[in-house]
Each structure stands twice: as C-alpha cells, then as structure tokens.
Chains A and B, each alone.
Chain A
Amino acid sequence: MSTVAIPVGARPARNPWVMLGKGFLMALLVSAGVLVLYPLIWMALGGFKSNSQIFSDPFALPNRWSFDNYVAAWNLGVRNFLFSSLLVTIVSTITTVFISAWTAYGLTRTKMFGKPVIVGFVLGGMMLSPTVALVPLVQMMQSLGLYNTHWALIILYTAFRVPFTTFLIRAYMLDLPRDLDEAAMIDGASEGQIFRKVMLPLCRSIIVSCIILHILFAWNEYLFAMIFTNQIDVQTLPVGLTSLMAKHGTNYAEVFAAMTISALPIVLIFFFTQRYFIRGLTEGIGK
C-alpha cells in the first residue's frame, strides 16, 4: 500500500495512456464491486417486498418499506440462531486464539524434551479431516452429554482450529528475536508476563488475523453444526436457515429477510476490521 509521491506544485503528467489505464482500472474495480454487492443488496431489498412482488417484479424497489418480513423471520427462529451463532463464535474464537497463542509460545520459546515430535503432533492436526472423525465424535459427545449443546460446537471448533491457528502464530513468533524475551527475563518477568506483556503485543497483527479467520470459519461452519445440533434453540445460523427454508421455502420474502439478518454481523465486522485484516494477513504471511 505505497503511495506515489507527487512533487509539490507539479501536476501529474496527462499522458493519455496513463489516463486510459486508470479509467480501465476504475471500471474494473467498480464492476467487481457491483458483482459482489448487487446480490447482497438484492437480497436485503427482497426482504422488504411481498412474496408476490418478488416474482412479479424481481428487480424493482419494494412497493412499501415494511419490516414485517424481518420481524417475522426474527420470530421464526432467526433470533435463536443468531444468539447461538454469536455465542459459539465468540467463545470458540477466544478459546482457540488463546490456546493457540499459548501453545505457539511454548513451542517456540521453551526447551522441552522431544519438541519436534510435539510440534509434528500439534500441527499434524491440520491434516485431520473432520468427516473421518464424525462417528467417534458423535459417540463421544453423546457419552459426555454434550450432544445438542452449544458446548459441542465450541469444543469441536476449538479442537479443529487450534492446529492451523497455532501454525500461523508459531511461524510469526519464530521470526521474533529471542533477545526480547531474554531482556524481559532479566527484567524479572515471569513466563506469563513475558507472554502477555512482550509476546502478545508484538504478535498483535497475526492475532487479529487469526481472530478474523476463526470468526469467518465459525460463523459459516455447517457440517458439525448440522450433525451435533438438532433443536431450534441450539442451532446456528447456517443450519437454522436451511431448516427455515425447508419449512417456509415458499415464502421467499421471509427467507431473504432471515438471510440478510444473518449476513449483517459478519459484514459489519469485516467493515470495521478490514484495515487490520488486510495488514495482518500480509504481515503475518508475507513477512
């Protein structure tokens, strides 16, 4: 994201080719933006229409700006799904990122016996396909009495995402100079203080990236959510919306309203954190 320095007082050259290139780029970006945004806007607008208008007049603005469909969708279960999704996403993000950062710290900063094996073991978890583990996991969750609870999803999301998140944070920590922790050690900091006061602040950009990546994963996860939950007050949005469509599939207006509500939080999160997101990813991976 470098800016081109233009000398004060000098005007950029009006080279027609440069102008044309810029115009072309602009057009490309606008088309890409429209391509991405239009379906979303169309969906949100659909939520305001009546079911018959959606079919008779799919591309027009709504006749009447009424929140009836949104309210109906909200009461049909979107409220519960949204709450479940928020709960599962927030809690599993906290547990995943915290466990991963702490693990990465241990893997990069302590002397321990057989470390390569442990590293291989933790990071090897990335290879594990969730589908393969489904049957034993279902039995395990049932015997633990966690089947059809939010905890089932929180635990599974954490367990399956810790390896990848650890991998990212560990790679970042390996590049941080050891001198800093040694200086902190001489300054009298305990392991916990070195972690919190020196390592975490230095890892901020990669941690933010990991948080966002995990939110995206947990918010949209379908397989586990479908298999481990089966009641309206436990199901998350992706599963809940599917069952909503199955039950009220003919009322597109309400389905559109429900989908709009479910997409809103993630769009807002991305909108407010895109600066960190882009920087964190480029720093974390490109550096």
Chain B
Amino acid sequence: MVGLTLKQVRKNYGNMEVLHGIDLDIKSGEFIAFVGPSGCGKSTLLRSIAGLEDISSGELYIDGALMNYVPPSKRGIAMVFQSYALYPHMTVFENMAFGMRIARVNKAEINRRVRQAADILQLTDYLDRYPKALSGGQRQRVAIGRAIVRDPKVFLFDEPLSNLDAALRVATRIEIAKLKQSMPGTTMIYVTHDQVEAMTLADRIVVLRGGDIEQIGSPLDLYRHPANLFVARFIGSPAMNIVPAVIEATGEQTLVLLASGERVAVPVSTPSGLKSAPVHFGVRPEDLRLAEGSGIFGGRISLIEQLGEVQLVYLDVEKVDGPIIVKLPGTEVIHVGDVIRLDVDPQRIRLFDSGGMSVA
C-alpha cells in the first residue's frame, strides 16, 4: 500500500512557479525528510500536501485517494508548525481538545485522548496552563500533542526545532525519533534545512533545490553516492572537498589530473567520450588520511580545529581555491604551518562531470 503519491505537482504564485513538477512516492509508515536551502520550496510542498495551498497542477494521493480538492481537515493529516501556532486564548488542554470539540467527540473520549497524549509528552502537570506560561520546549510538545490526538495517517512537521536552543533541539530530536517508533503505522514528513536533523531522523531524504527534487534516497545513500555536486556539498558536515580536475584516460579505470598537478586513478569506468573533459574530484574530509608515501596531494596547514576526538585540519593546496578540510584523529600531532601529504581510499572518490552530475 502506498502512503502518499505526488504526480507532477506544480505550484505557482502568480507568474512565478515555485514547484516544478514534483514526483514522489512515500510508503505508509515511512519517515521522510525534505531538506534544501532556504527558499527552495520545502514549506510550499509540505503545505500543498496539507491542503493549506492549492496545487496549481498535478495530483496528490493519500492512501490511494485523490486529495487535490479535499479540505485539510479531511486528509487525515496533522501538522506541527514552525511557530507552534498554539491558540493563545486556550489552555493546553483546550488546545489539544479543540479539533475533537469541533468534531463533537464526546467528553469522556476527549478527556481520555488528551490525557494519554499529555502523558506521553510529560505535559500532564501543565494542562491548565496557557501557552504564554510555557517554555519553548513545552510549547513544542503541546503542538506535537495537538497533532497526536488527531491520530493522523500522515504527520507533517515544518522546521519544528528551529525555534529551540541547541541543547533542547537535540533533546527534542530524540523525542521525535521515539515518537516515530511509537507510531510505526504513521507516515511522517519532516521539513528542515538542517541536514543533521534529516540524516538522524529520516528513513529517506528528499533533497530539494529551487523547486526541483535533486535526489531521493536513504541518508547513507545520499552520503555515499550523491547524485550530483549539489547534494554532495549539501549533505555532510564539513562539506565534501571538491578539486577541479581533467580526465586524462578513460576505460575500466579513470585517470584524472588534479588542478594541483597530481594524477589519481579512480576505480570507476568512464566512456571514452569523456577523455580530456573537465570534472570535479570529490572526497569527504574523513576519507582523507595522512599519507605513508607520497599520497594524492598535499599542502600547508593553515588552521586546526581541535575537537578532542577528531581535529579538523584546513589545508592550503596549490592551485586549488579554498581550503581542503581533513578530519584526522585528535591524537595526531601536527601544527599550523606543517606541510603534509594526504592519501585516500580510491573507492571513496566521487567524480562529477562539468554539469555537476555524478559520473558513474
């Protein structure tokens, strides 16, 4: 059974098209994250699913039923807003009970469901308070509680952690992960611009840019096999190092000449047409290590960020713009100004063509 299907979904604001034909299949019970830079259309896509925005063209199905013209309250969804959107003139209890009261659910049932949700979210002592007398984290939990009592098929979150401070954000992230485990049948769609949240929570991540899907895949998939340069740079922190290069020889193996002057054999096969084509050579900071011998390239250390367990080493490499970042064990003894050589497992190297697409 398919949880949610989008077919060629487009959204226009006046003459401006914000979503350019989104195709997406989400399985029932999946946790999906939409990530992408600010303004790429994540919220618009989520709000289109919720029914808060009309879809300009295309089709949206939830549980196999066409939803384009179904009002938000009939779609079986619940949404947690970035601002929490709690009703300020209602107590916590009333906030959570509002939807059920509208639907004329009987008192005993309302009471039971609100108290159950409050119990899960540790809000029982706060049921009589007004939102203004709650902390940010508590408000967040009330917003989640209001969504839980709706018993939704699809749970929508729009950047729910962005108004919390760093420590609370991690704690609440864990709460949401637990919530997901306790509601295995519920599909969850989670919008964030923070790739760490997406990586840690999602079963699959949808990377958006400028109203298009760049890639869909499991967190590890995106991390190991980014489909293009944009995803490669967006997923992972610090970002993947990119060095300009030229293909010197194609075939079973590909020989590339780096801008810094070294030649590297990459174990991917490339068609002969790509010979002498410019490419981007990508390698993640943690895949680089100090070379025993000459390595693939080297440079002078300009900065070291010691984090204890690891240290981030910023390297100036000749003829390469911007620093190359290397993640080395925290115990490695090195100093700013040292010249070091680096090596890499060739399996971990990624190549992108001049258009930014991954070279298979």
A-side residues, CB < 8 A to B, are 177, 179-180, 182-189, 193, 197-198, 201-202
Complex CA–CA separation, A188 to B51 (angstroms): 12
- Known contacts being A182-B52, A189-B102, is A202 close to B89, with CB within 8 Å? yes
Contact of A183 among B77, B81, B103 (CB under 8 A): B81
- Chain B residues with CB under 8 Å of A186's CB are 50, 52, 72-73, 77-79, 99
- Chain A residues with CB under 8 Å of B78's CB are 186
Contact of A187 among B52, B81, B88, B99 (CB under 8 A): B99
B66 contacts the other chain (CB 8 A):
no
B102 lies within 8 A of A183 (CB): no
B177 contacts the other chain (CB 8 A):
no
B87 lies within 8 A of A180 (CB): yes
- Chain A residues with CB under 8 Å of B150's CB are 187
Q: Do most interface residues of chain A lie in helix, strand or loop, or is the interface mixed?
A: helix
16 A-B pairs (CB sep. < 8 Å): A177-B83, A179-B85, A180-B85, A180-B87, A182-B85, A185-B71, A186-B50, A186-B77, A187-B99, A187-B102, A188-B73, A188-B103, A189-B102, A193-B102, A198-B87, A202-B88
Complex CA–CA separation, A189 to B72 (angstroms): 10
B98 contacts the other chain (CB 8 A):
yes
Contact of B98 among A177, A179, A187, A202 (CB under 8 A): A187
- Chain A residues with CB under 8 Å of B73's CB are 185-189
- Chain A residues with CB under 8 Å of B146's CB are 183, 187
Contact of B81 among A182, A193, A198 (CB under 8 A): A182
- Chain A residues with CB under 8 Å of B72's CB are 182, 185-186
- Chain A residues with CB under 8 Å of B99's CB are 186-188
A184 lies within 8 A of B89 (CB): no
Q: Which of B78, B86, B102, B146 has the most CB of A within 10 A?
A: B102
B-side residues, CB < 8 A to A, are 50, 52, 71-73, 77-79, 81, 83, 85-89, 98-99, 102-103, 146, 150
- Chain A residues with CB under 8 Å of B83's CB are 177, 179
CB distance from A201 to the nearest CB of B (A): 4
Q: Beyond the given A184-B98, A186-B73, please list 19 additional residue pairs across the A-B interface where CB-CB is below 8 A.
A: A177-B85, A180-B87, A183-B85, A183-B87, A185-B52, A185-B71, A185-B73, A186-B78, A186-B79, A186-B99, A187-B73, A187-B102, A187-B150, A188-B99, A188-B102, A193-B102, A198-B87, A201-B89, A202-B89
Nearest B-chain residue to A189, judged by Cβ: B102
Contact of B79 among A177, A183, A189, A201 (CB under 8 A): A183
- Chain A residues with CB under 8 Å of B71's CB are 185
Nearest B-chain residue to A176, judged by Cβ: B88
Complex CA–CA separation, A143 to B89 (angstroms): 47
Complex CA–CA separation, A163 to B85 (angstroms): 30
- Chain A residues with CB under 8 Å of B52's CB are 182, 185-186
Query: Top 9 nearest A-B pairs by Cβ distance?
Result: A187-B99, A188-B73, A179-B85, A183-B85, A201-B89, A186-B72, A188-B102, A179-B81, A179-B83
Complex CA–CA separation, A185 to B77 (angstroms): 11
Nearest B-chain residue to A185, judged by Cβ: B72
Complex CA–CA separation, A182 to B150 (angstroms): 15
Complex CA–CA separation, A85 to B126 (angstroms): 48
Q: Which of A179, A186, A202 has the most CB of B within 10 A?
A: A186
CB distance from B83 to the nearest CB of A (A): 5
- Chain B residues with CB under 8 Å of A202's CB are 88-89
Complex CA–CA separation, A41 to B84 (angstroms): 54
Nearest B-chain residue to A177, judged by Cβ: B83
Complex CA–CA separation, A184 to B89 (angstroms): 13
Complex CA–CA separation, A137 to B7 (angstroms): 58
- Chain B residues with CB under 8 Å of A193's CB are 102
Complex CA–CA separation, A188 to B79 (angstroms): 12
Nearest A-chain residue to B74, judged by Cβ: A188
Nearest B-chain residue to A182, judged by Cβ: B52
Q: Which of B50, B79, B85, B99 has the most CB of A within 10 A?
A: B85
- Chain B residues with CB under 8 Å of A201's CB are 89
Complex CA–CA separation, A198 to B150 (angstroms): 19
Complex CA–CA separation, A187 to B143 (angstroms): 12
Complex CA–CA separation, A183 to B81 (angstroms): 8
Complex CA–CA separation, A185 to B81 (angstroms): 13
- Chain A residues with CB under 8 Å of B87's CB are 180, 183-184, 198
Complex CA–CA separation, A236 to B318 (angstroms): 92
Complex CA–CA separation, A183 to B131 (angstroms): 15
CB distance from A205 to the nearest CB of B (A): 11
Complex CA–CA separation, A189 to B99 (angstroms): 7
- Chain B residues with CB under 8 Å of A188's CB are 73, 99, 102-103
Complex CA–CA separation, A179 to B89 (angstroms): 15
Complex CA–CA separation, A185 to B99 (angstroms): 9
CB distance from B281 to the nearest CB of A (A): 45
Complex CA–CA separation, A193 to B73 (angstroms): 13
CB distance from A101 to the nearest CB of B (A): 16
Complex CA–CA separation, A185 to B53 (angstroms): 12
Complex CA–CA separation, A180 to B87 (angstroms): 7
Nearest B-chain residue to A190, judged by Cβ: B102
CB distance from B128 to the nearest CB of A (A): 18
Complex CA–CA separation, A186 to B157 (angstroms): 13
Complex CA–CA separation, A285 to B289 (angstroms): 64
Complex CA–CA separation, A201 to B130 (angstroms): 14
Complex CA–CA separation, A184 to B72 (angstroms): 10
CB distance from A113 to the nearest CB of B (A): 13
Nearest A-chain residue to B152, judged by Cβ: A186
Nearest A-chain residue to B54, judged by Cβ: A111
Complex CA–CA separation, A185 to B85 (angstroms): 12
CB distance from B123 to the nearest CB of A (A): 17
